[in-house]
Amino acid sequence: MIDVRALRENPEPAKDSQRARGADPGLVDEIIEADAARRGALQEFESLRATQKEVSKSVGRASKEERPAILAKAKELAEQVKAAEAAANAADAEADRLARLLPNLVLDGVPRGGEDDYTVLRHEGPAPRDFAAEGFEPKDHLALGEGLDAIDTKRGAKVSGARFYYLKGVGARLELALMSMALDQAHRAGFVPMMTPTLVSPQIMGGTGFLGEHSDEIYYLPADDLYLTGTSEVALAGYHADEILDLSDGPKRYLGWSTCYRREAGAAGKDTRGIIRVHQFNKAEMFSYCRPEDAAEEHARFLAWEEEMLAKAELPYRVIDTAAGDLGTSAARKFDCEAWLPTQERYMEVTSTSNCTTFQARRLGIRERREDGTAPVATLNGTLATTRWLVALLENHQRPDGSIRVPEAMRPYLGGVEALEPVR
């Protein structure tokens, strides 16, 4: 949620942010008008209530002759106060509803536009392989995974429907190796490892900004009024809800390991083969609470940690600065790392790190104590590993016989195995 007082004082940055996102800048004026109506309704209620209290006090001092008129006036005022309170509550609810519709304000330098308007910052890692020069046609990750007896989408669909799968044998071990490597790296960097809840309340889900334009991507359990999380960011953001933090020693950092669930409602016909875009997957997610003035530096550190993991996986990748219209509700800036996918000759997102400034903290009541009082903190998140990484690992490290070379950094997590061999 945005600081409405700052919005009143200078609405132009918010309007420009909306324009950069391709969204309606008129929403800013609606919020300011609703806030003025809220403050006016509250003032009217408090004024009437003060008058009511004075009249009520005068009853005891009134003469017998004056009392009936005063009592009638008190009764009339009570009805007015009740109506004014209802109006103030309604105005407050409407102002809050509109304020929650406004996405976070994008930071200076973020590319304007939509999904395809990102800026490529750089290319990193080894050069994409020339399979033609190596003398063979690369197989896609599903064919390789089936050859290893590591991925089973047919039985996944039989049991749960489309876009579900089993990881088995070396597939399960490979994912655990990747996730464990991420956890170890994060732990060495000072993160507190956490196994997080995957069901959260509407207050926590809404507080993180996921119940806006992308709410159709979330699984909801109406009988329990709980949501399945699509990232442990949600549970980690809610961990310190309604608390005052001490950040005098630096950011509080957590590494969440959880299963994630996404409906993928808007992805019909896209990446349906294999395990690129699925309903259930595992993810290791970094999360930080820090001072707002330190958020940009923390964001750079998150990106560096993600790139450290990609270097260990020995993957060719590029870093993009995501355009404003593709940031999502909470992010003010987002960097994605996209690994090269040989069989599709394109880059595929494998990590994402977002600076959410104070947006989530304001919604969730997370503050820090400072010399001049308390103030909202900044929150940041970033991916260290997900199930999707297996797609890039299998395709980029395949050999002509269908075996997979294991990157050196991952070998200790697989008992020293240097290659995954297909099942004969």
Annotated binding site for ATP: 262-264, 278-281, 349-352
Binding site residue list: 231-233, 262-264, 278-281, 285, 349-352, 381, 383
| Per-residue tokens: 404 | 């997979």
Rounded distance between C-alpha atoms, residue 224 and residue 104, angstroms: 30
Binding site residue list for L-serine: 231-233, 262, 285, 381, 383
DSSP state of 105: P
Annotated active-site residue 39? The verdict is no
Catalytic pick from 38, 367, 388, 395? 388
Rounded distance between C-alpha atoms, residue 330 and residue 311, angstroms: 28
| Per-residue tokens: 235 | 């549970």
Rounded distance between C-alpha atoms, residue 126 and residue 120, angstroms: 17
Catalytic pick from 277, 291, 318, 399? 277
Catalytic pick from 30, 217, 349, 421? 349
Residue type present at position 246:
D
The partner residues of 193 in beta bridges, in order of sequence, read: 255
CA-derived radius of gyration, the chain: 27
Catalytic pick from 21, 100, 253, 262? 262
- Cα pseudo-dihedral 188, 189, 190, 196, rounded to 10: -90
Rounded distance between C-alpha atoms, residue 419 and residue 72, angstroms: 90
Annotated active-site residue 262? The verdict is yes
> Are the CB atoms for 320 and 121 separated by under 8 Å?
yes
Annotated active-site residue 388? The verdict is yes
Annotated active-site residue 277? The verdict is yes
Catalytic pick from 288, 330, 352, 354? 352
Annotated active-site residue 5? The verdict is no
Rounded distance between C-alpha atoms, residue 207 and residue 382, angstroms: 18
Vertex 117 angle, CA 324 and 264, to 5°: 75
Total residue length of the chain = 424
What residues contact residue 249 under an 8 Å CB cut-off, 6+ apart? none
Residue 145 exposure: Cα atoms within 13 Å on the Cβ side: 30
**Could you list the active site residues?**
262, 277, 349, 352, 388
